[in-house]
Chains A and B, each alone.
Chain A
Amino acid sequence: DQQVKQNSPSLSVQEGRISILNCDYTNSMFDYFLWYKKYPAEGPTFLISISSIKDKNEDGRFTVFLNKSAKHLSLHIVPSQPGDSAVYFCAASAEKETSGSRLTFGEGTQLTVNP
């Protein structure tokens, strides 16, 4: 029972264009959502997050959109750079459960940005 799903295992974009990574969730108790980025042979690193009370959060080139009615979130990277090539994990948490420390991860999307 995978509660967080990333249906695209891979995405390839051209440098300078927009990358859009998608994530769907099924648990309506989730109220906080995050994106992590992972390079090979390293652990995931926190990228950006959004609370369920918001529908958009922006940090530099990265923007996360949340559509609660569709139980869908997306990460936009504009402009994409070759250094953004990595696996991106979507994660979700229900704050009322263990104060939010239990993260449920999706299976990841491999982003490749071509020069």
Chain B
Amino acid sequence: DTAVSQTPKYLVTQMGNDKSIKCEQNLGHDTMYWYKQDSKKFLKIMFSYNNKELIINETVPNRFSPKSPDKAHLNLHINSLELGDSAVYFCASSQWTRPYEQYFGPGTRLTVT
């Protein structure tokens, strides 16, 4: 009964490939997020969706494309992977009325070789 789940947990791939990370939440939340934790351990928001509508789109290369098929899912597709994309990617969700209390998934460690 995991609240926020991400797949895969680990992803190793070569430069230039295209990959996707999936996220699902069963908390009934209406807002979902993608964060990137880089090598310096900073957690930085990338995207946020509310009821399948994009509301936050930080300065992220357009090789990154989020897709929200429904309120419970927010997937992240990355084209033409680069070495600098190596990081841990966290999905999170919250209620729109309580945006500060975000529930995070366990993270996906992406390694680009």
Residues of chain A touching chain B, judged by Cβ–Cβ distance below 8 Å, are: 2, 32, 34, 41-46, 49, 87, 89, 93, 98-105, 107-108
Contacts and interface: CB of A to CB of B under 8 A. Distances in A.
Q: How large is the interface on B (under 10, 10 to 19, 20 to 34, 35 or more residues)?
A: 20 to 34
A43 B100 contact: no
B27 interface: no
Main secondary structure of the interface of B (DSSP, over half): strand
15 contacts: A42-B107, A43-B92, A43-B106, A43-B107, A44-B90, A46-B102, A99-B96, A99-B99, A100-B100, A101-B33, A101-B55, A102-B48, A104-B45, A105-B43, A107-B41
B90 to A, nearest CB: 5
B64 interface: no
Q: Which 8 A-B pairs have the closest CB atoms?
A: A43-B104, A101-B99, A105-B43, A100-B99, A46-B101, A44-B104, A43-B105, A107-B41
A71 B43 CA distance: 20
Nearest to B58: A102
B106 A101 contact: no
B84 to A, nearest CB: 18
B99 A44 contact: no
Given A34-B100, A42-B106, A93-B100, A101 B94 contact: yes
Given A42-B107, A49-B101, 10 more contacts: A2-B42, A41-B106, A43-B92, A46-B103, A89-B43, A101-B33, A103-B45, A105-B42, A107-B41, A108-B41
A98 B90 contact: no
Contact of A101 (B4, B48, B104): B48
A107 B106 CA distance: 18
A5 to B, nearest CB: 10
A87 B42 CA distance: 12
B44 interface: yes
A32 B100 CA distance: 8
Contacts of A107: 40-42
B12 interface: no
A105 B92 CA distance: 14
